Amino acid sequence: MNPTAVEQAKERLERARDAYARLEAAKSLRETRMAWTDFLAAASTIYSKLEQGSKSHPSSLGWFGRMKRERKVDPLLSYIHHARNSDEHGIAEITADTGCKFEIKHPTMPLRFEVFAETEEAKDQEFSIFVQGQETITVKPTNAEKMIVLVEVKDDRYNDTFPVPASHLGVKIPRAIPSDAAKNALSYLENLIAAAQNLTLKAQQAK
């Protein structure tokens, strides 16, 4: 693996980390959308850098081929790849502002729940709180906030559609929102670059 490619991939990883931090701190729907598209771009470039760097040695070329296959079959990695392609090459929206987050509080007991819903209508419903299996009270949500949710994306170059990912490496993704997707993908990308770095070290030691 070419060490220059690894260093450049690390720089893009920093951009992905920055985008994830901005996703977590976003105060508006616009900030969320911008941070998400920045994360997608950084993730895509990491693969591009490592692909070019892998061409310098047969073992790294084979390794990167396996990583590309994993990206193709894993729901989250595949989605991120094609969401970036859709954002870069198409005009269809890759997110929607139809979700919401709100609180459910018990009026007399120290019970508070934060709830995420994929449709904004949920904030107008009533919810029952159960304590030790018995319903104690029915309450309405408070502090409702609109949220960005992921949507099915279409890669116009191949006329393929890709559903919102529900899992990553066999583990369920709890919420269909950009920050959860980015958190899982960021951990994967960190490990990906660490593996590429290891290939570089092995090549240097073999000389």
User: What pLDDT is attached to residue 195?
Assistant: 95
Cα-based angle 42, 97, 40 (whole degrees, multiple of 5)? 10
Within the chain, residue ranges assigned H as helices are 3-25, 29-54, 58-73, 75-89, 178-206
**What are the extents of the domains in the chain?**
3-94+151-206, 98-148
Q: How far apart are CA 77 and CA 44, in angstroms?
A: 10
27 DSSP 8-state letter:
-
Single pTM value for the model: 0.85
User: What pLDDT is attached to residue 32?
Assistant: 95
User: What pLDDT is attached to residue 204?
Assistant: 67
Q: Give the pLDDT of the chain (207 residues) as one tens digit per residue.
A: 999 999 999 999 999 999 999 999 998 999 999 999 999 999 999 999 999 999 988 889 999 999 999 999 999 999 999 999 999 988 889 999 888 887 888 777 787 888 788 777 777 788 787 877 777 778 887 877 888 999 999 887 778 899 999 999 999 998 899 999 999 999 999 999 999 999 988 766 665
User: What pLDDT is attached to residue 159?
Assistant: 81
